[in-house]
Amino acid sequence: MGRLLKTNCLQPGQGRSIWVTGDLYTLKTTGAETGGAFAMIEAVVPPGGGPPPHRHTREDEAFYVLEGELVFHADGQSFTAGPGSWITLARGSVHRFRNESRATARMLICVTPAGLDDFFLEIGRPAVEGEEGPFPTTPEEIRKLLATAPKYGLEIHAPDH
């Protein structure tokens, strides 16, 4: 597996930011910087935000909630995660998270090996500095997500899964 290719320090607000289905993902460390070993992504999830149920066939994921509250559904379990909560999900787990509160949530996502970062880059829309989101998810975004997901070993499931 890869290794870090260089030492780096990103200040708050730095990184490559991408809108994906209404959530803002900022790439803090990419697979290109770790030889594919892992990627670290900051997620800003507005009220009502979060991805559809899905399954990663290639990556394990870990989440660390920084602000707000998110409800996670995975492996037949549901749990609420607030600041300081740490969640780990093994590849193959059908899961989703959702912000069911009235406040924006923020968390760090670590995926190993990397790859989800490339998926976000391919399907997302680059954020423009100073723009205010979230933006409604368009039918074109959904089509692009569904068409591209298999390339990255992602399976998108029906919302009632």
Asked whether the beta carbons of 28 and 134 are under 8 A apart, the reply is no
Dump the DSSP string for 119-161: HHHHHSEEPPTT-----PPPHHHHHHHHHHGGGGTEEE--TT-
pTM of the model: 0.92
Taking 70 as the threshold, does the pLDDT of residue 21 lie above it? yes
- Across the range 38-42, mean pLDDT stands at 97
Pairing verdict, β 54-56 and 154-156: antiparallel
Q: What is the pLDDT of residues 61-107, one digit of tens each?
A: 999 999 999 999 998 899 999 999 999 999 999 999 999 999 999 99
Residue 81 lies in a domain: yes
Please count the structural domains in the chain: 1
Domain of 107 in residue numbering reads as: 16-128+137-154
- Where residue 138 falls among pLDDT bands split at 50, 70, 90? confident
Give the span between the Cα atoms of 154 and 146, in whole angstroms: 9
pLDDT band for position 132 (cuts 50, 70, 90):
confident
Taking the C-alpha atoms of residue 113 and residue 1, their distance in angstroms, rounded to an integer, is 8
CATH code (residue 96): 2.60.120.10
68 DSSP 8-state letter: S
- Which of 1-10, 63-72, 95-104, 128-137 is predicted least confidently? 1-10
Q: How confident is the model at residue 160 (pLDDT cuts 50, 70, 90)?
A: low
Q: How confident is the model at residue 161 (pLDDT cuts 50, 70, 90)?
A: very low
Asked if residue 161 belongs to a domain, the reply is: no
